[in-house]
Amino acid sequence: MTHNDLLPGELFTRLRSACHEDWAAYTRHTFVRQIGTGELPQACFRHYLGQDYLFLIQFARAFALAAYKADTVPDMRHAMRGMTTVLDTETRVHISFCAGWGLSEPEMAALPEHPATMAYTRYVLERGMAGDLLDLHVALSPCILGYAEIGAWLAADPDTKRDGNPYLPWIEMYAGDEFREVAREEAAYIDDLMARRGGEGRFQDLVKTFRQATQLEIAFWDMGLHPPAG
């Protein structure tokens, strides 16, 4: 399965191609590979899960910003659906998943944000504040579209361990039809925004945003590999 089969979208395909080295470093990161083989230390995964909860809170803020930046009712509705999905669906699923790893919501909410968590989430908000909806969603897209690609790759990879892999539910969640549909909708939406707000003159700036966001996702995986002591 190619990424085009999974996530058809002209703009995403072009951005991914323009940033192929960074994209490969992100989607095939050591953290991701060790999830697939089941070799990732569980302390690393718990550290990642806690920071990912804080990450989701900031992503909800990004969709709230999208509603503010929108100048049409359909765009406002799209933004509010996104915020509702993050707060009422993704966060709820994440909390339930984390409970199986011994992490409660109050415990995660009390965690200090790691600099890598702050770096990417605040970058997304900055791009939304400084730019328009297209800038904001291109900054969001490595997370949404990247996780769908990672899930599909790990699910299809013959090196992925199925029996006894504690991370298999995580893989199945991001490889599943529900998350794949979220990613497809995002790929289609950035194409629509490009058609309405873009033009070739904007493409290189969008590449810069996509590359920087992808590099910040790499830093987030790096963070996961280094849990705090104790």
Task: Tell me the torsion sign for CA atoms 61, 62, 67, 68.
Answer: positive
Residues designated as active site: 143, 217
Q: What is the largest CA-CA distance in the chain?
A: 51
Q: Which residues contact 198 (CB under 8 A, 6 or more apart)?
A: 11, 134, 206
Of the candidates 222, 183, 217, 190, the one whose C-alpha atom is nearest the C-alpha of residue 206 is 190
* Cβ–Cβ under 8 Å, residues 103 and 50: yes
Of the candidates 53, 55, 57, 35, the one whose C-alpha atom is nearest the C-alpha of residue 45 is 35
